[in-house]
Amino acid sequence: MNDAVSISTFHADDIETHLGELGELLSACVHDGASISFVLPFTRSESELFWSAKVLPAVRAGKLTLLVARHEGRIAGSVQLDHDTPPNQPHRAEVRKLLVHPNVRRRGIARLLMAELEQLTRRMGRHLITLDTRTGDKAEPLYASLGYATAGVIPGYCLDPIEDRLDSTTLMYKAL
Ligand SMILES: CC(C)(COP(=O)(O)OP(=O)(O)OC[C@H]1O[C@@H](n2cnc3c(N)ncnc32)[C@H](O)[C@@H]1OP(=O)(O)O)[C@@H](O)C(=O)NCCC(=O)NCCS
């Protein structure tokens, strides 16, 4: 499977070109129940707007790097590295929105994206990665298996995307 997956850095013009597929990726993950900022109802145009209004300007400004995984020519996953850190944290970067399309999960795509993201972080001269993920989600064992340590849990942090309840978030970090 991994041989069929390629990872590349998407620039602003790549985001514009692939807005439909990126919108489909995010929308599919939210409708599958992922806790990644959004709640239902969540339309395709809202999904595309996230990429065009939030991600694209940050990528263009050099504040965010977007990695995209392709499988059989289609966008299968993505992850963002936010390196827009304050002056006292030049050594740190934050993982945002690790997404793998529900149709191609459990085939190592997230692992590949995170390996590439860590190499990228090192190349930037940064050596501390931080993230947060909903407590109990399948991403938690993934990050733990990649060497991320748990700093703590914040209860009642965010709304579930589908059900009327608040979920906790787990703060994690890895020193490279
Ligand atoms: C979390 C997510 C990115 C994993 O993507 P994936 O490509 O399926 O993950 P991988 O195949 O690389 O799996 C890596 C490891 O993650 C863990 N994992 C992934 N899916 C899991 C599941 N359903 N149950 C338990 N562990 C799981 C396992 O440790 C797995 O390793 P293994 O297959 O060797 O046991 C994907 O499920 C997803 O997009 N979820 C919705 C978005 C989200 O919640 N992102 C995290 C935001 S912080």
User: How far apart are alpha carbons 14 and 140 in whole angstroms?
Assistant: 30
Query: Could you tell which of 112, 133, 138 is best to mutate to test the pocket of ligand 1, judged by most ligand atoms within 8 Å of the CB?
Result: 138
The answer to whether the CB of 98 is under 6 A from ligand 1 is: yes
Q: Which two tokens stand for residue 19?
A: 């807005």
pLDDT attached to residue 1: 55
Per residue in 80-116, pLDDT tens?
A: 999 999 999 999 999 999 999 999 999 999 999 999 9
The pTM of the full predicted model, rounded to 2 decimals, is 0.97
Q: What is the chain's mean pLDDT, rounded?
A: 97
Contact 80, 26 (CB under 8 A): no
Contact 84, 63 (CB under 8 A): yes
Per residue in 29-79, pLDDT tens?
A: 999 999 999 999 999 999 999 999 999 999 999 999 999 999 999 999 999
The answer to whether the CB of 138 is under 6 A from ligand 1 is: yes
User: 3 pLDDT exceeds 90?
Assistant: no
Q: What residue owns the CA closest to ligand 1's atom 23?
A: 138
Helices assigned H by DSSP within 87-146: 109-123, 139-145
Contact 89, 75 (CB under 8 A): no
Q: What residue owns the CA closest to ligand 1's atom 48?
A: 133
